[in-house]
Structure 1
Amino acid sequence: METGNNLDGIRKLGGVLERVCLVGAVAVVPLAALYWAAFNSLPPDMTASAVKLAVSSVLPAWVRLLCFLASMVPAVAFLVTLLRLRHLFTLYKEGSIFSLANVVCFRRLAKALLWWAVATILYTPLFGLAVTAANPPGRHILSLGIGTSELALFFVAAVAVVISRVMDEARRLDEEQALTV
């Protein structure tokens, strides 16, 4: 009886999280576009990281467009990660826990997490160049950095790879046991 309740709970939560991931994926690009479109009207605490690099606290439209494009690098990687998560939660909603489709989906999620980490690293120099594009010669900034968030994403991606391999082994053993007479 306990197993049925667990599976029911997984299905329900899978359905909720599937919808949350969809909403998040649909919102990523419009929210980034809205941020950069409204940048010059936002409170200073929301623009401080960009303003400290630029010579002016008001960014021209073409610079904001460059900043938006730079922000799309990690945003698209995040969007793909959310869509992969959505697919995983769809499988859970359908009651598919240790199927081959589930293992493949989890492996793809791990790769998406890895690409998201790489994209966040690429964002730093792209953003620096974009936000300082209107600066006078000699005042452009090219920076590169790897911080705790990038390292955390790499770690989570590595954990997801290991979990996907464990899940695949569990699935394989379950199939072998089912074929044993």
Structure 2
Amino acid sequence: MFKNIFIFFLISTSLYAISLKELLNSVEVTNENYQAQQALQEMSKKQYESATKDNYPTFNLIGAYENNSKVLKTEPEDIAYAELKASYILYDGERIRNNELSKKSLHESQQLKTQYLKQEIMLEVIKQYFSYQNTKSAIDVINYKINELNGQIKKFEILVKNDLETKDKLQALIASKKE
């Protein structure tokens, strides 16, 4: 399925492309698998960046205010409350460091996968491009041979008309043209 879609992509772009270089440059823009892999690479980069910033202290601020108009004279009408909490993990059994290292290796592996996929796609484009060029050249050669045979047939028709050649050779040429 992927190969059929890829061949369709190659043929449709080759109609508009002037050279192999243009085809290779369009791989990054038009290939959905490559774009998806780039998105995965970007996601792993963001995860790695957030894992490196995971070990900062945290601050929590809690506040409350209450206004009571129907209270006793000994109770305050306004009550304000505020609390600030700060925390920092001193030791977590290397969990944060291991998480950071795993995200770093995930990011590096996604980079390598992206490079591999790009090279694989470019290789397939090159193969299909040269297959297309070989087929195009073969068609040109066949058209040249057909034109050459048509010229020989006309020449032999003239010779047969003037009784300089037999019809057997003319019929053999016509039969070889049909093949």
- Give TM-score, length-normalised by structure 2: 0.33
Choose between structure 1 and 2 for higher RCO, CA contacts under 8 A separated by at least 6 residues.
1
- Give TM-score, length-normalised by structure 1: 0.33
